[in-house]
Amino acid sequence: MSENCLFCKIGTGAIPSQKIFENEKVFGFVDIHPQAKTHLLFVHKTHTSNINDMSKDSTAIAEVFQAIAEYTKDKDLSTDGFRVVTNLGPNAGQTVFHTHFHVVGGEPLGHFGRR
Ligand code: 5GP
Ligand code: ZN
């Protein structure tokens, strides 16, 4: 738990969210400004600021991807497909500095690339 971190507070429930997944290590919730029909955020409960910071903890990275697999399994998402995105720093437009993985889908997505 990092003080004044939005996603740490969402993790504890201090700030409300529409949680769609939770286990001991990871939680997932609906993005407040969805960029596609389905737009979820998966977050490890251990605070790190971005994916490079998180790379020190390979177990945590695995736990997030296992959570995504568990959540999407047996849903249309897994058959239709989805995209996982994580932003680091200003060029990528990172706005929340607790590592998070966008899970985007529910409809065909445009090709990923430059604006
Ligand atoms: P980033 O831009 O850092 O990659 O992603 C941050 C994401 O968090 C954005 O897509 C934004 O819409 C979402 N977000 C920011 N504040 C809140 C909030 O209070 N609740 C929820 N559910 N999502 C949020
Ligand atoms: Zn945090």
80-113 pLDDT tens trace:
999 999 999 999 999 999 999 999 999 999 887 6
100 is catalytic: yes
| 102 CA to centre of ligand 1 in angstroms | 9
Q: For the chain, report the end-to-end CA distance as a whole number of angstroms.
A: 34
- The superfamily CATH assigns to domain 6-105 is HIT-like (3.30.428.10)
By mean pLDDT, which of 27-36, 68-77, 104-113 is the weakest? 104-113
pTM of the full structure: 0.96
Q: Shortest CA distance to 54 belongs to which of 82, 26, 28? A: 26
Give the pLDDT mean for 10-20.
97
Locate the ligand 1 atom nearest the alpha carbon of residue 33 and give its number.
Answer: 12
Question: 77 CB contacts (<8 Å, ≥6 apart)?
Answer: 38, 103, 105, 106
Distance separating alpha carbons of residues 83 and 64, to the nearest angstrom: 14
Counting atoms of ligand 1 from 1, which one is nearest the CA of 94?
3
Task: List the one residue out of 64, 66, 14, 22 whose CA is nearest residue 44.
Answer: 64
Tens digits of residue pLDDT in 73-88: 999 999 999 999 999 9
Residue with tokens 């790190």: 48
Domain ranges for the chain: 6-105
Check residues 1 and 16 and name the one with the higher pLDDT. Answer: 16
Query: With bands split at pLDDT 50, 70 and 90, how would you rate the model's confidence at 45?
Result: very high
Tell me how far CA of residue 58 lies from CA of 61, 62, 63, 98, in angstroms.
5, 6, 9, 16
| pLDDT score of 115 more than 90 | no
Rounded to whole angstroms, how far apart are CA atoms 112 and 115?
Answer: 9
